[in-house]
Amino acid sequence: MGSRIVTVVLLALLAAVQGQLWLGRGSLPRVSAMQQQLRNQNDANDAAQEANKRLASEVQDLREGLDMVEEKARSELGMVKPDEIFVQYLP
């Protein structure tokens, strides 16, 4: 009778552990779903990083482009900023 109770208790514990493994909070299906969600989020992060790189490149081009436009305006057209004095030296 005593060994039968031990067997029943051990089977109940085994059933509880298996229940947690398949149906509980850290179950295999839930872990699999969370891994898929993590992969999706990583893909979205990679896409966002690429978009950020493109935007940063565009900003850098615009900054450099404005510097080039300003330099051309100064050298070719003789334009000056407010409160500047234009001096031209001819050899």
pLDDT tens across 47-62, in order? 999 999 999 988 888 7
Residues 8-26 have a mean pLDDT of 83
Classify residue 48 as exposed, middle or buried by CB count within 10 Å of its CB (0-12, 13-18, 19+): exposed
pLDDT tens across 70-86, in order? 877 777 887 888 888 87
Q: Name the pTM for this structure.
A: 0.52
Q: Which is it for the CA torsion 19, 23, 29, 32, positive or negative? A: negative
Q: b or e along 2-15 (b: 16 or more beta carbons within 10 Å of the residue's beta carbon)?
A: eeeeeeeeeeeeee
